[in-house]
Amino acid sequence: MVILRSMKFIFFTLTLVASLVACSPPPQQASPPNIVFIMTDDHSIQTMSTYDQRFISTPHLDRIGKEGVIFRNSFVSNSICAPSRAVLLTGKHSHLNGQVDNFTRFDSSQVTFPKLLQQAGYATAMIGKWHLKSQPTGFDHWDILINQGHYYNPDFIENGVQKTTEGYVTDIITDKSMQWLDSQSGDKPFCLLVHHKATHRIWMPDTALLGEFDDIDFPLPDNFFDAYEGREAAAAHVMGIARDMDLVYDLKMLDEEGEIQTPYRKYYEGIYPRMNPQQQAAWDAYYQPIIEDFKQKGLTGDELAKWKYKRYMQDYLSCVRSVDNNVGRLLAYLDEKGLAENTVVVYTSDQGFYMGEHGWFDKRFMYEESLRTPLVMRFPKGFGQVGEVTHLVQNIDYAPTLLDLAGVAIPSSMQGLSLLPLLTHQDTAWREAIYYHYLEFPNEHGTKKHYGIRTDRYKLIHFYEDIDVWELFDLQTDPQEMHNLIAAPEHAERIVQLKTELAKLQAAYGEPAIR
């Protein structure tokens, strides 16, 4: 890919799209395509084999990109759940859609892409994690988890009525999605949002998949024992696997003797009884021997940290496996019903996640692991696009893209861009930098408020409010973001330029300058 770059025109410059295999412009669609938009919660690109083969193979998720398009540089604008979901719906940054954190109630009177699709004649449905406090609007049918939802025997609110469904949440959300598809007459195109709870904390695997990753010796990330030198905001975190990850709550070490007493034990004691006797029996058959072995080992220090990391990976990856299997079921359903040919399938997550990098779990920071999110799309037959896109795309782009695919006009108030022009083999004017703003503070993970700019090579971040710290990273020479270059004289001019571009982005997106 050739990029013509000038710091003066960082927002939009010409980029040549040469990375696509098939390059004819999209043909006119005879009828509007159906849309299946699948979004998981906290699924990292490190644990999807489209992006990274070190930990797990995810053949069904990979299939979407293999038969469609893989976005190699896909980012969120505010790496946390409810804000990401509001960005998805509105195509606007957090400061404009109002969902600045997980505590706010989403203003559901706003213009959203499901509403516009519904008005254009689509049948619309939302199934799974919603997390926006206000009731869904713009959907003919909705069946949502309450708040974060539960992995086992979860409670749903179906079109306003609360019900409990027996089973494992990832299976259930997929079943409900297929049931809704079954109910469609075929008179209208459909748009189905499938929003999984997995792979969110506390990473409770399906009992059928327990132990699948036990024989793997996951290498620790190089920066697992990061000392956060020169990065004051990172040092203030409360999301360290070694120090903060709870042995009982996160890692399920609920010993019968009550000897493992941890701050979050009481919460796990509240979640465990949700399982029915059969589920508990399978669960205990797996975890009890691990608990006994763990107590016998008496691990401390680095050895304990390594043990926690391994257990975390085992549980998290089991949840990913379940997602992959269930996406496979849904893709097979589309094939069997003859729907695949005229259905757009999107897979993404509400943000990325730390798999031990910097010693962490959770997200929120503008560092790469939580700024990035998976994004693969498969288009209707005849659409012709297969390959990879390396442009900087962001979750503000999802709503405009889906509207564009449906042939519905994109409101000028939406701030994202349709990704469709990137799929044709033409020079495309595209952004050269993305804007990010994380606003939830205080929070349980100690992440400071911050905003910043990322180009394809550099990232400038300002942590603010109870702190005033700038960070600059060269992602080419320091992809792990260990060396803050903000005080390096050789970067002084670059910092001035990036601050100017950051201010331009804030002005362009209608965000007042911050401090």
102 binds, among ligand SGN, Ca ion, none (CB under 5 to 8 A by kind): ligand SGN
Nearer to ligand SGN by Cβ, of 194 and 419: the residue is: 194
DSSP collapsed to 3 states, 256-277: CCCCCCCCCHHHHHHHHHHCCH
324 binds, among ligand SGN, Ca ion, none (CB under 5 to 8 A by kind): none
Is the distance from CB of 480 to CB of 223 less than 8 angstroms?
Answer: yes
Q: Is the peptide bond before 146 cis (omega within 30 degrees of 0)?
A: no
Is the distance from CB of 392 to CB of 73 less than 8 angstroms?
Answer: yes
The DSSP code for 217 is -
Per CB under 6 A, 201 contacts ligand SGN: yes
Nearer to ligand SGN by Cβ, of 237 and 454: the residue is: 237
Minimum distance, C-beta of residue 82 to ligand SGN, in the bound complex (Å): 7
Three-class DSSP category at 330: helix
| Amino acid letter for position 32 | P
Binding string, 355-374, against ligand SGN, x = CB under 6 A? -------x------------
Neighbours of 69 (CB within 10 A): 26
Per CB under 6 A, 226 contacts ligand SGN: no
| Amino acid letter for position 490 | E
Nearer to ligand SGN by Cβ, of 263 and 407: the residue is: 263
Contacts of 460 (CB under 8 A, 6+ apart): 452, 453, 470, 471, 472, 495, 498, 499, 502
- Site residues for ligand SGN, 438-477, by CB under 6 A, read 444-445
Number of residues that bind ligand SGN (CB under 6 A): 12
Report the residue from 39, 48, 56, 81 that binds ligand SGN according to the rule CB under 6 A. 81
Q: Is the peptide bond before 154 cis (omega within 30 degrees of 0)?
A: no
Cα-to-chain-centroid distance, residue 316: 14
Nearer to Ca ion by Cβ, of 42 and 226: the residue is: 42
Please tell me the distance from the alpha carbon of residue 80 to that of residue 75, in angstroms, as a whole number: 12
Per CB under 6 A, 108 contacts ligand SGN: no
Minimum distance, C-beta of residue 52 to ligand SGN, in the bound complex (Å): 20
Per CB under 6 A, 402 contacts ligand SGN: no
Three-class DSSP category at 68: coil
Report the residue from 102, 262, 390, 500 that binds ligand SGN according to the rule CB under 6 A. 102
Report the residue from 10, 32, 41, 359 that binds ligand SGN according to the rule CB under 6 A. 41
Nearer to ligand SGN by Cβ, of 148 and 280: the residue is: 148
Is the distance from CB of 237 to CB of 443 less than 8 angstroms?
Answer: no
Per CB under 6 A, 143 contacts ligand SGN: no
- Binding residues (CB under 5 A) for Ca ion: these are 41-42, 81, 350
**Which of 16-24, 112-120, 163-171, 197-205 is the region at the interface with ligand SGN (rule: CB under 6 A)?**
197-205
Which residue of this chain has its Cβ atom nearest to ligand SGN in the complex? 81
Minimum distance, C-beta of residue 451 to ligand SGN, in the bound complex (Å): 18
Please tell me the distance from the alpha carbon of residue 237 to that of residue 243, in angstroms, as a whole number: 10
> Which stretches of the chain bind ligand SGN, using CB under 6 A?
41-42, 80-81, 102, 148, 200-202, 362, 444-445
